[in-house]
A and B are shown apart, each in its own frame.
Chain A
Amino acid sequence: MSVSQAATRPLWLPPQSRRLRAGLSSLGAVLLSLVVGGVLVLIAGGEPVSAYGALIDGAFGSPYAIGQMLVLAVPLLIMGLGLALAFRGRVYNVGAEGQLFMGALAGGVVAIFLPVAFDPLLIAASIFAGMAAGAAWGGIVGVLRARWGVNEVITSLLLNFVAILIFTYCVRRPLRAPGSPDLQGRSIDPNAALPVLPDLAVHVGVFLAIALVPLAAYLMARTPFGMRVRMLGFNAEAARAAGVSSRRMVMALMLISGGLAGLAGVLQTLGVSERLDLGISQGYGFTAIVVALLGRLNATGVLLAAVFIAVLQSGGQAMSVTEGLPYAIVLAIPGVFVVFLLIADRLARG
């Protein structure tokens, strides 16, 4: 009886393999959220098929469009990797936005003032400063949690606002572009600007971001550190009894995820705005949380998720222009998506 049962196992039952099941539930959630997005388009008086056509066209229609999509994917990917690692260890850093701005500020200051003529050195110094600042901003959260057990969700969230206000103050006062009346921060030394690929108009930071994917995958799966992170995430008590210092791990995870957010901030500054600019992030630090969860805290998954979100957002802008639809519809899709994903997860677990 059990044999025939296995042979005629109905297709609608979730597959046995956990990996396959997780993949299928992600895919199902993607499709469902696209359907809901279509319904939203209908409600807004549009035509779903042509709207999605416009979205795809907006993301992939030309080399430039692809480039814009990639530029958007870079910060999401970099921050998503760091957050995925931290979330694996149940360190819920939701402060990537603030860490990004601190990284942009420090990296920007170096790129504006450091008198180095040699481009690679200047860029390297700027990136280093940005990562250090992001890590330090995350490190505050780490110290509070490791030393006094303060909940990192609250501190990292609130430090976002502090960081954004510091950044805003700087571009308004001490670092305002000379002679500019509004919120324009100073431009960086042109030598510090990242080289840009022809046609695609993508800064070279994209290579750095892609190179981080296998590195993160290796760190998560093949190193003692990655194993300790998983231990901490699965069972912090047992990890501690096996000699894993949760304080050190929390610190390390906050420093790494903060440093990567800082890196994203520097790359935005050196490769996109080329000045200190409040517009370098449209809440990317928060979107990166979605990216990390969507990618199931897995390096390859984060890569796919970052591209998916970038396609939606950059294509969506084009769509809202050509189809005359509100951009909010596009912004709604990832939100709907996460809800479906959670439902699918529940169902898949049975």
Chain B
Amino acid sequence: MELSVAMSGVVKRFGAVQALAGVDLELRPGEIHALLGENGAGKTTLMNVLYGMFSPDAGAISVGGREVNFRSPHDAIAAGVGMVHQHFKLVPTLTVAENMVLGQRGGPLLRRRELAAVSARLRALADRYGLDVDPDARVWQLSVGEQQRVEILRALYRDARILVLDEPTATLTPPETQRLFPKLRALAAEGASIVFITHHLEDVIEWADRITVLRRGERVGTLKPADSSAEDLARMMVGRDVRLMRVVAGEAPTAGEGRALRQRESAAPVLEVEGLQARGDRGTTALHDVSFSVAPGEILAIAGVEGNGQPELEEAVFGLRAPEAGTVTLDGRDVTRCEPAERMRLGMGLVPSDRYRRGLIRELSVAENLALDRLGRPPFGTELRLDRQAIAKHAADLIERFSIQVSGPEQLAGTLSGGNAQRLVLARTLSRELRCLVAAQPTRGLDVGAIEFVWEQLAAARDCGVAILLISTDLDEVMSMADRCCVMYRGGLVADWSRERLDREKVGLAMGGASNGGPPRAAAAAEGPV
């Protein structure tokens, strides 16, 4: 059988960094091929080379048996390669159909009649592959899952025979994920080759025909899911045994739980949120009557699919967004109107969901970033003088303790990889005296090694008596970490389960909006807002 893509010995350097060190990859028609690897392993780089975004420094690529040399994605698209990026490249104010023809030379962008033809063809495509999307809807009105379908449709519209998806399940609900893959399977059945990049081992094992594992720019191996277990794959990815896999399976309780349990029974809650209501950036109600409390030494996980009010909850609790109603109480003190600085003084900490936007300042050094929240206080000097030496010493200490991979404390924080950036944020937050920690999507986009580290740190903080509010869209994370779990749906909390009553399927269903046996108060909240 002829290969649809053959990449051999592909090398790509960025300055001094070798992102790909001679990688081979073969794609067959009709297969779903998973590309697995840690952050920075070179998965996305490899696919960007195939898509013509980067030209390789060495190596050969052939598509459909013909050697190619793409200068831009235009060439790649012409050769039948389509890519769905992790961050969608759609214009929100245009319709789905308009987005299809955007960027096509001589495209019939503004002509109504021809756009109608585009819509008709899209409908046909959408029907054929079960990618239900309204071609005349404006992109901003669509959910994340729908936008992804639009991206896939766009690739198909341009006659892609080779479809690359970068982290397609990162932002989808479990049910949406379960819907996506059969559609990809149907595509493959017609002879298309599909590559998807992922961290999710379960998706790989369940859906891939073959798996290629990359590590540090090299191919570790290509294998079939039947020949490998999740543990094998994880070991191949990180090059060592990872204890995490046990936790991912949702079986092993993390250490120290017994102690935490005893501690929490007698203690008064640290964080209490009552009737919180807030608007989102677009002025629509994003939080509706949200109430919960977190005891010392307890992790309350707020599960939920993205787009149900999580960023607003994170911001409102930490004082970055003014609520319209409701109260936030920290250790019995009403802090609803307090600035973040005041909450921090009272022992609140934040691991923000957007670590580059909120967690660190790219233009400052790692050392400066590690001291951002404690400038002007001993031992870092006074308001009249920054003690640079103390800052450097503090940084060296934290870099060691949190194993942050840096060339030195003076490295700019903007050059850190996702995992190291998160280590930096955690190091800064957890090295303060904490009473309560808001951790929002703390492992999003991280590789297994880093996820393990983050979870360990959160568990350790919990065992020290910190009350942790864990806002997460990752069901694995919720299942492994939660002492208690609520589900967020359309701005309200729809369930409240203790760890003993936590059931993966129930949580997954509630995340998708299938309201079920939650307590009456929470269930009522679910019906309230729209």
User: Which A residues have a C-beta under 8 Å from some C-beta of B?
Assistant: 2, 222-228, 230-231, 234-235, 237-245
Q: How far is the CB of B365 from chain A (nearest CB, A)?
A: 11
User: Does residue B489 face the partner (Cβ distance < 8 Å to A)?
Assistant: no
Q: Evaluate whether A223 and B386 lie within 8 angstroms (CB atoms) in the complex, with A241-B350, A241-B352, A241-B359 already known.
A: yes
User: Contacts A222-B385, A222-B386, A241-B320 given: A231-B372 contact, CB under 8 Å?
Assistant: yes
A249 → chain B closest CB, angstroms: 11
A225-B320 contact, Cβ under 8 Å, with A241-B352, A245-B339 = no
Are A227 and B368 within 8 A (Cβ)? yes
Shortest C-beta distance, B424 to chain A (Å), equals 12
Question: What is the CB-to-nearest-CB distance from B380 to chain A, in angstroms, rounded to a whole number?
Answer: 8
Smallest distance from the beta carbon of B280 to chain A beta carbons, Å? 16
- Complex CA–CA separation, A2 to B385 (angstroms): 43
Distance to closest chain B CB from A205 (angstroms) = 26
Other A-B contacts than A224-B381, A224-B383, A227-B375, 8 sampled, CB-CB below 8 A, are: A222-B386, A235-B363, A240-B320, A240-B340, A241-B320, A241-B352, A243-B339, A243-B340
| B333 contacts the other chain (CB 8 A) | no
Q: Is the CB of A231 within 8 A of B386?
A: no
Nearest A residue to B13 by beta-carbon distance? A2
- CB atoms of B373 and A243 under 8 A apart: yes
Please give, as numbers and ranges, the residues of chain B lying within 8 Å of A2 by CB-CB distance: 16
Within 8 A of A (CB), among B372-412: 372-373, 375-376, 381, 383-386
Q: Is the beta-carbon distance between B383 and A223 smaller than 8 angstroms?
A: yes
A242 to B357, CA, bound (A): 12
Q: How far is the CB of A235 from chain B (nearest CB, A)?
A: 5
Q: Pull 11 A–B residue pairs with CB atoms less than 8 Å apart, ordered by A.
A: A224-B386, A227-B375, A231-B361, A234-B364, A235-B361, A237-B357, A239-B372, A240-B340, A242-B340, A243-B344, A243-B345
**Bound Cα distance A231, B359 (Å):** 12
Q: In the bound complex, what is the Cα–Cα distance between A222 and B387 (angstroms)?
A: 8
B364, A242: Cβ atoms closer than 8 Å: no
Shortest distance between the CB of A83 and any CB in chain B (Å): 20
Give chain A nearest CB distance to B416 CB in angstroms. 14
Q: Which residue of A lies closest to B318 (CB)?
A: A241
Residues of A within 8 A of B259 (CB): none
B362 proximal to A (CB < 8 A): yes
Task: Kindly state the separation between the CA atoms of A239 and B373 in the bound complex, as whole angstroms.
Answer: 8
Distance between B360 CB and nearest chain A CB, rounded to angstroms? 6
Q: Are A227 and B358 in contact (CB under 8 A)?
A: no
Q: Is the CB of A243 within 8 A of B376?
A: no
Nearest-neighbour CB distance to chain B for A347, whole angstroms, equals 19
Q: Which residue among B16, B318, B341, B350 has the maximum number of chain A CB atoms within 10 Å of its CB? A: B341
Chain A residues positioned under 8 Å from B340 (CB to CB): 240-243
- Pick the contact of A223 from B16, B320, B368, B384 — CB < 8 Å? B384
Q: How far is the CB of B471 from chain A (nearest CB, A)?
A: 15
Nearest CB on B from A222, distance (A): 6
8 Å CB contact of B364 from A230, A237, A244: A230
Name the distance in Å between A146's Cβ and chain B's nearest Cβ.
12
Tell me whether B385 and A231 are in contact (CB under 8 A).
no
Name which residue of chain A comes closest to B381, CB basis: A224
Alpha-carbon distance between A230 and B386 when the two chains are bound, in angstroms:
14
**Cα of A223 to Cα of B386 in the assembled complex, Å:** 5
Q: B385 to chain A: which residues have CB within 8 Å?
A: 222-223
Q: Please, which residue of chain A has its CB at the minimum distance from the CB of B350?
A: A241
B386 with A238: CB separation less than 8 A: no
Top 3 A-B pairs, shortest CB-CB distance:
A224-B376, A243-B341, A224-B375
Docked Cα-Cα span, A240 to B341, in Å, equals: 8
Write the chain A residue with the least CB distance to B359: A238
Chain B proximity of A229: nearest CB distance (Å): 11
Would you give the 0/1 interface string for B491-526, flagging 1 where the beta carbon is closer than 8 Å to chain A?
000000000000000000000000000000000000
Task: Check if B362 sits within 8 Å of A244, measured CB to CB.
Answer: no
Bound CA–CA A192/B357 (angstroms): 52
Complexed CA–CA distance, A222 and B362 (Å): 19
Give the residues in chain B near A227, CB-CB below 8 Å. Answer: 368, 375, 386
**Cα distance A239–B368 in the bound complex, in angstroms:** 12
Q: Specify which of A222, A224, A225, A244 lies most central, judged by the most chain B CB atoms within 10 Å of its CB.
A: A224
CA distance A228 to B372 in the complex (A): 8
Contact with A along B202-232 (1 / 0, CB 8 A): 0000000000000000000000000000000
Instruction: Specify which chain B residues have a CB less than 8 angstroms from the CB of A230 in the assembled complex.
Output: 363-364
Is the beta-carbon distance between B361 and A239 smaller than 8 angstroms?
yes
Which chain B residue has the least Cβ–Cβ distance from A244? B341
Report Cα–Cα, A238/B363, bound state, in Å. Answer: 12
Known A-B contacts A223-B385, A224-B386, A244-B341; A231 and B364 likewise in contact (beta carbons under 8 Å): yes
Chain A residues with Cβ below 8 Å from B352 are 241
Docked Cα-Cα span, A154 to B350, in Å, equals 35
Q: A222-B385, A223-B383, A240-B340 are in contact. Are A235 and B376 (CB under 8 A)?
A: no
Q: With the chains together, A284 CA to B381 CA distance in Å?
A: 38
Chain A residue nearest to B343 (CB atoms) is: A243
Q: Considering the chains assembled together, what is the distance between the CA atoms of A95 and B454 in angstroms?
A: 48
Contact partner of B357 (CB less than 8 A), chosen from A226, A235, A244, is A235
Contacting residues, chain B, for A240 (C-beta < 8 A): 320, 340
Measured between beta carbons, the chain A residues less than 8 angstroms from B360 are 238
Report yes or no: A245 in contact with B361, Cβ–Cβ below 8 A: no
